[in-house]
Structure 1
Amino acid sequence: MNSLTHSSTSVVRKASRFLLTSRRFCDTSRINGDEETLKITWETSEMDCGFAEEHEKISVRRTFLESTKLSASQVLDTLKQDCPGFNTKLALDELNVPISGLLVREVLLGILRRLSFDNKTRCAKLAYKFFVWCGGQESFRHTANCYHLLMKIFAECGEYKAMCRLVDEMIKDGYPTTARTFNLLICTCGEAGLAREVVEQFIKSKTFNYRPFKHSYNAILHSLLGVKHYKLIEWVYEQMLEDGFSPDLLSYNVVMFASFRLGKTDKLYRLLDEMVKDGFSPDLHTYNILLHHLATGNKPLAALNLLNHMREVGVEPSVIHFTTLIDGLSRAGKLEACKYFMDEMVKAGCTPDVVCYTVVITGYISGGELEKAEEMFREMTVKGQLPNVFTYNSMIRGFCMAGKFKEARLLLKEMESRGCNPNFVVYSTLVNNLRNAGKLLEAHEVVKDMVEKGHYVHLISKFKKYTRS
């Protein structure tokens, strides 16, 4: 206990270092009947005219949208005919459709919707062919969003090199590459082992710009955090320092979180010290990282001391901070501590939200305490916090673990009746547990019901040994 207290005091010591015009009314008695009639007639005419103009604008917009959708349908039908010997460019020219950003969007979205495992290469080819054809028309210029949509198609088709070439075209044509561009590339190319190359490309790019951030390095760091490329965050941070850029509070927070996720505690606190020396006080995100670290490190007393320190320096802990702490303790199996901090949270005037309840429920399920999870589930609904898909998935998993498959299936129906659409994870949890318990017929019924409702039909193959009847 003494060592724990000493540890918590050390943490708090570290944390404490940063952290008419007046309107005159007309005398209506002076207005005679003719004047009043004239005034009413003029106002009514003006109002009618304004309404007519607005109605006309709405009608024009509706006509334009309907016309564009019809043109997009014609373009898609023409692209379907693409084959050796068929002049697709000439066929598109002969359609004589007006080119607009909306048309490009409708056609590319149409191609994206038609994508399947068997036609990926063809869809990528047709999308680019149409994109080039539009770009060759007079008085039309693609928007950055058009480029991003084509990149999305390339991403879905696994055309990584084509994505990178498209970015080069964007830069060459004078388009700014933003965080959206970067995210599309890093999310896709990262899976293909090309993340480092993509980051290097953006670091060297002089057109990479994302307005909310001080410089492109922060935009890259922020984007990498979203896709959990923690090791790459460290590398980018080192490149940033080598290029002479000084980190700000955002930079420190991102790199500190990456250090936490990588289990580099020493580096986390070294960055904290550097941050304080550079004159930055900790913000809500900084404290959140520290609480996460203390909770997962099974240091509830140190976490409590840090919460008290936050209040002392004028930073009031929010629902997010308590939820972060409870989540970490839950993962460490400290369920009693979770309940303690949930009570503390309410005492502090913070109302637990659906995320907080779900974290606690998931902890109870993982700890094999289904009854307490059910109690918490009832409590949240009574207090007006509607369960989300993650809450339901945890409860369904809990019932399955306890062999209560009837209750699990009833819960699936309940969530659907409440307008909470089950995701594939929910179906997978129920089906796999039913199968493992030898209840093959019931598992088949769940899958059949899913298919009949048109949910995740394209993922049927992920259910092993499932065949449609």
Structure 2
Amino acid sequence: MNYKQLGRSKALDFFSWAGFQMGFRFDDCVVEYMADFLGRRKLFDDMKCLLLTVSSHKGRVSCRAVSICIRFLGRQGRIREALCTFEEMESKFGCKPDNLVYNNVLYVLCKKESSGHLIDFALAVFRRIESPDTYSYGNILVGLCKFGRFETAIEVFGDMCKSGVVPTRSAVNALIGELCSFSAKEGAVGKVRVRNSCRNFTILVPKVGGNSDAIQPAVGIFWAVYKVGLLPSTFAIIQLLSGLCQLGKVEEAVEILKAVEGKKLSCVGEGYCIVMKALCSHGHVEITSHMFGRMLSQGMKPKLAVYNSIICMLCKLGNLDDAGSVFKMMNKNRCLPDSMTYSALIHAYGGAKNWEASYGLLIEMLGLGYSPHFHTYRLVDKILRENGQMDTCLKLERKLETQMLQKLCKDGQLEAAHEKLKSMIGKGFHPPAYVRHSFENAFRRYGKLKIAQELLRTTSETDRT
């Protein structure tokens, strides 16, 4: 074990000399150490030769030494050699495999083998284990999920629970994650056979929702491991919450979120965002209100998506007072609204024929630099005209045109900016000084200052007239 002082060559020479002196009848720890020593240096031929030499001299080869060889060979993708070592260990080394050997073989077959052709062999190896342990179950479950054998994986998980073995966290993550992914894929498209044609053919059509048959086992697995004090990774939990919400099973998602919430995981905030959006999209006002209050009471800062979902839901239901309160709370909590927030409120107040609120929100929206959708602007313009607010209509149009001009200048769209300013002049709209300055700077950057100055001169002459 002093190879760091001896060097690799001298360490190997000393081992060979000692082996011939002692007939290679070493203690197990020495053979195991040398197998690990050779495996780490990728001397795989020497590693196998070590086992054969010790065995041929009537020395003892332990299961641990064989398992070390299998693991190192598997890590380097030498799957066939690892399996050959496993199959020959009784005949060549006189060593009966134990759980450590089986677990390393399953590790190679399930985690390192990528084709999937040997998954049935892995399952057969697993069935040979008299008392599978946590790692036995963990490896086979990961392999079955990896290669899409979900029904068998669920069956193995059930057997594991009956035997009282707690699964590894990686196995739970694989089970829940792959089942959720399968559910999402199953819900994406479906095959439909068309027969009312000269030639039968199959087309793919989108499905609504997903495959609830795949998500339910994932939910069962979550609760089973939760009862024994084990939680999946944050990524797997988010996948599970997203899958349930996509299928409309929001109540189940809420229960899982409440269970996870007490563990103070980093996924709680994102989980609330997913669940709140789903609750709002399904119009569950009472549960949404309860969950929103729960967020605030625990000191969470709701994200913009949560506020938008609540405001949009309340606006659709015509509850403008509560929508306005949530909007004020949003500003108070320093969560900056976006164009979706303003659009929802403007359309809601517009539907209620409240021109003052709609106009005020649109002006505020423009002030933040957001460009309203054409239908949003037309709605406010229509309400203003119906209420005889012609001056306000002109003011709104002027502000919108000015913002569009400024945006074109900022994006470097000179031709469009030039046409926009000409159109504004034709309507009698004259941009303020800061917009003219932006217009000049945009044209100056591209060496076209004279064109900008000529048009601005026309504006100045019109102002004097």
Q: Which has the larger radius of gyration?
A: 2
Fold agreement, TM-score > 0.5:
no
Higher relative contact order (CA 8 A, sep 6+): 1
